[in-house]
Amino acid sequence: MSASGATKIERTGSMGEVEMTVLAGYRNVPIGFELLRKNVFLPFEGGFELPWTEDEGDFLSFGLWDVSVRKREPDQWDDEIRYINQMQKALGDLEEDTRFLRIQISCFERCWYNFSENINIILQGISQGRPEAEHVPCEPPWSNICMLLRRRMGVVSHPEIWDRYCEASTGYDPNRSPRQRLARAYIGILNWWSARGDLTCLRSEMPEYGELAEKIYNWLGEPTKLKRLYVERIKVRLSGEAYPQTDQSMVKFSGKEAEEMGKVIDQCIEEETGVKREDNPILRRIGMQNLCHHAFFRRTDIQIASVGANEWRALPETGEGRRHIEKNITNYYHALNSWLGHKPLSQAKDEWPEGAETTEKVYGLLGEDTPTKRWLVASLWKTIKENHRNKGRGELDRHPEKFEPSWIKLET
């Protein structure tokens, strides 16, 4: 801790070890916010803007209820948020690791394809009193903040690789990332189709993806000039996520080269169809997207099928991914709610049998409570409850009376 009360980290770079201020002194930070030292981010993030922050002189103001809950300003806070903020206020000065855990919680997003693992990682951090060093979850929109956490925890296993969407699930080895492999398989299948490659040979060449290859061939049908152009556009989108890249390569491709290639292909499609991109229901839906999003490949399938049909179309079983999300949201909400309510594990499992396995896992990770742990868990509980609630939360929406938070003492 510096003389001014600000938190410090040490980072080894090309100029040797440099001491950098990360967080403002806690006494200067309003409840419900964090203040991040501006010069920690801007010189080392290639000039990227840090999302969800506002300029506060030497600091960036970060709303702890902004990213996931979308309630940055105090006049937007509801009674539950105000109650949880009072829990924080009662704790007095917070340790650095506790503040980083709270930042981590505030950035939770359920869109990640395996978001439940992120919850477990956060819970493990809460239990041990510091962010889980080997598994800092990585998901939009907080990749820049995630990199700060990695630097802080000394987790830069592959310093030349910035594969922000796959590292958390692959042990920081993007070359073996299963989602990147799948994206490369899509590209390979589309190349075979475009060249009129034989499907039987393709299935023999890529036996792991034989069923996918057959589906893509059936969706696309006979190659035509227009279909090939659309496919090239889809491949540009896939290529931005399919290959491990250095920091510089990622910036060049995603920030400039992919956009330039996309514009050229878009122009060719516009000339072929006579329809501008913004008026083309297929073309306007093809763009750069995050590989970590749970619907990345579902959207890819819909785009490919629409190219084959020459019109935007849905596919059977739409919504399976969302149902999976709703189930997990309800299960974790119940488990956290029960733990905060001091309910015995057996009672919590009996009250919601569908989430018994999740409840047992949560209780096992958290153990006995402390005031600091309760505040962090309550913050996570509220974040899970509110994050994208307009997109559906399953049983939590259908039967809210089953999940009342009896542990919150709200004023009436």
Q: In this predicted model, what pLDDT tens digit does every residue of 325-381 receive, in sequence order? A: 999 999 999 999 999 999 999 999 999 999 999 999 999 999 999 999 999 999 999
Number of domains, the chain: 3
- Rounded Cα distance between 201 and 364, Å, is 50
How many other CB atoms are found less than 10 A from the CB of residue 369? Answer: 12
Say whether pLDDT at 18 is over 80.
no
Whether 2 is covered by a domain: the verdict is no
Q: In this structure, are 108 and 40 located in the same domain?
A: yes
Q: How far is CA 290 from the centre of its chain?
A: 9
Q: In this structure, are 131 and 243 located in the same domain?
A: no
Q: In this structure, are 167 and 207 located in the same domain?
A: no
Q: What is the domain range of residue 207?
A: 176-309
Of 140, 173, 206, the last residue of a domain is 173
Going by the DSSP 8-state scheme, the letter that residue 161 receives in this structure is B
Q: Is the dihedral of CA 372, 374, 375, 377 positive or negative?
A: positive
- Rounded Cα distance between 264 and 277, Å, is 12
Of 134, 152, 173, the last residue of a domain is 173
How many other CB atoms are found less than 10 A from the CB of residue 45? Answer: 15
Whether 361 is covered by a domain: the verdict is yes
- Rounded Cα distance between 299 and 65, Å, is 30
Average of per-residue pLDDT across 285-302: 84
Whether 99 is covered by a domain: the verdict is yes
pTM flag (> 0.85): no
- Going through 153-255 in order, the beta strands assigned E by DSSP cover none
Whether 411 is covered by a domain: the verdict is no
- Rounded Cα distance between 113 and 76, Å, is 29
Q: In this structure, are 152 and 15 located in the same domain?
A: yes
Tens of pLDDT along 303-315? 999 999 999 987 7
Of 152, 173, 194, the last residue of a domain is 173
Whether 97 is covered by a domain: the verdict is yes
> What are the distances in angstroms from CA 193 to CA 55, 239, 315, 403?
50, 17, 20, 51
Q: In this structure, are 25 and 168 located in the same domain?
A: yes
Q: In this structure, are 99 and 227 located in the same domain?
A: no
Whether 409 is covered by a domain: the verdict is no
Tell the residue number behind the tokens 């830069």, with chain if given.
156
Say whether pLDDT at 176 is over 50.
no
Whether 316 is covered by a domain: the verdict is no
Amino acid symbol at 87: M
- Rounded Cα distance between 180 and 167, Å, is 11
Tell the residue number behind the tokens 């209780």, with chain if given.
363
Structure confidence at residue 173 (pLDDT):
42
Closest CA to 165 of 2, 11, 289: 289
How many other CB atoms are found less than 10 A from the CB of residue 75? Answer: 5
Whether 318 is covered by a domain: the verdict is no
Q: In this structure, are 251 and 215 located in the same domain?
A: yes
Q: In this structure, are 164 and 47 located in the same domain?
A: yes
Q: In this structure, are 269 and 375 located in the same domain?
A: no
For the record, the structure tokens of 123 come out as: 């819970």
Q: In this structure, are 208 and 150 located in the same domain?
A: no
Structure confidence at residue 247 (pLDDT):
56
- Rounded Cα distance between 186 and 208, Å, is 12
Q: Which residues pair with 252 in a beta bridge?
A: none
